[in-house]
Structure 1
């Protein structure tokens, strides 16, 4: 019986493991190797250059601009999205009487908030490009209606990156409203009732009851949003002038990687960017998960 069980486990796991190695781990290994070459995309023309590609990254001003912009996205997008998501989820669940029942029609609100998730990120970027249009866009049209002159949002170096951030936040917040709502649903009702009996207000209930008990969900949300912020390729590619402009104001690492590989034929250099982005993402995930465990241990 034991041998039959092991044969069954091996038959179930080995094909999946082989597919994972071939289609997931193998491309990673190839990318690491290519980052040490000067490959131009032509078979047989890769020469080993060691860490020269990585040394060039430190001197590439456009890549450094991309790193700076990704860092700003990494700070702003997760924090603002999580804050809005937690606020809306808390209002939907804690806004009714009794401190727990939630407001009327909360399910319909969640559907409305979730709607952007039904659209691909490229479609979202195209729609918001029309919204930001300086001549006949919805945003500037609304400003003109109240007597204000709207700027050229995506052509201004100081406004282009915040405009991209706003799109990323708008497209993500609905999913996290639903996610945090599900986490709040898992909190025992008795805890909210006890807080209400003790005279705790809405903010105190959120800070002392809701937030500690959804901390794990917030931690996971931060990791996923951080990964999205480190990418941001699709939105920048579709929405911005250049793309990556104006004057590198919206340049991100993913866009620099794409341009060097598929426009300039510098696949080895682009692979070095990809490896750097991989380790940045891995570091973010490790720090977020370890920080969450330390916080949980401190609370315990």
Structure 2
């Protein structure tokens, strides 16, 4: 009697296949992402200036200096404001437009040309952040060449210093961030709405539900997981915003630190003041803020999964 060799378990073959494909990406991720993060923790405990071969160990001195740094706390407040407002405004606007572009109301198949509008909304995503910043520098110009100030001056009104007025500059930055982010989340939420069975909408219409009731009673509950993901991504983006602030604003976070954020202070301390240890300490604080926000958001929004 001949015996055939035992076939390898399917689970083992599948695991080998997955490991084979993931090994190189994980290696690159570890070298270029995890390793710099780990080094930042050690550098934060030194006074390294970026050029010395053997930085001096200072322990927690950099973190003690942070506690009394007024500019750092100003940056923290700005990040906190963006953390609250950017996800709220972006999600609300994106949900509004996504609902209009999809079959969400009684007798409505969405607006005509919905595919074209999705492309238009998504267009800012294909622009580099630096290009967006330069474009809005021109939009916010405080003279007759500015897109927003030109009509005001034509009406005999005083131009608004969108980027020059400390009380307005951060709100202008927030407007640019929302404009840039909305298109992606319109497409994301549209995809989520398209996956909702049409039968649910038809049942709601038969029961006499209006457009508002359909949105709040049918669409939004079924999009909760998608909105949760978008909310976390936007919160991380609000904590990590850098290029828009650095390129658009005077003094790279001005005027008078009115738009500075933690990422800008990391760059400023590292590459202008050559205080790499101090900059790394700010980076460590930003890391814990980001991880803490993500964990808290996931914890507060946890619920049983809805199957449909």
TM-score, normalised relative to structure 1: 0.93
Q: Please list, as runs of the form range in 1=range in 2, the aligned pairs for 1:1-300 lying within 5 A after superposition.
A: 1-2=7-8, 5=13, 11-94=20-103, 98-99=107-108, 101-135=109-143, 136-294=145-303, 296=304
Instruction: Give the alignment's Cα RMSD to 1 decimal.
Output: 2.0
- CA shift, 1:145, in A, is 3.2
- CA shift, 1:144, in A, is 2.4
Match of 1:155, SS?
coil
- Residues 237 and 13 of structure 1, relative CA distance in 2, 3 Å threshold: closer
- Asked if structure 1 preserves the Cα contact closer than 8 Å seen for 2:104 and 2:214, the reply is no
- Asked if structure 2 preserves the Cα contact closer than 8 Å seen for 1:236 and 1:244, the reply is yes
- CA shift, 1:95, in A, is 6.3
**Separation in 2, partners of 1:122, 1:168:** 12
Q: Which moved more, 1:17-26 or 1:256-265?
A: 17-26
**Separation in 1, partners of 2:17, 2:104:** 52
- Asked if structure 1 preserves the Cα contact closer than 8 Å seen for 2:105 and 2:211, the reply is no
**Separation in 2, partners of 1:254, 1:193:** 48
Match of 1:93, SS?
coil
**Separation in 2, partners of 1:9, 1:211:** 35
- Asked if structure 2 preserves the Cα contact closer than 8 Å seen for 1:94 and 1:202, the reply is no
Considering fraction of residues, name the structure with more helix.
1
**Separation in 2, partners of 1:236, 1:10:** 40
Look at both structures and tell me which one has the larger radius of gyration over its CA atoms: 2
Match of 2:158, SS?
coil
- Asked if structure 2 preserves the Cα contact closer than 8 Å seen for 1:96 and 1:103, the reply is no
- CA shift, 1:180, in A, is 0.5
2:3 — aligned with what?
A: none
Unaligned runs of 5+ in 2: 1-6
Unaligned runs of 5+ in 1: none
**Separation in 2, partners of 1:153, 1:87:** 27
Aligned length: 297
**Separation in 1, partners of 2:124, 2:155:** 28
- Asked if structure 2 preserves the Cα contact closer than 8 Å seen for 1:98 and 1:193, the reply is no
**Separation in 1, partners of 2:126, 2:16:** 42
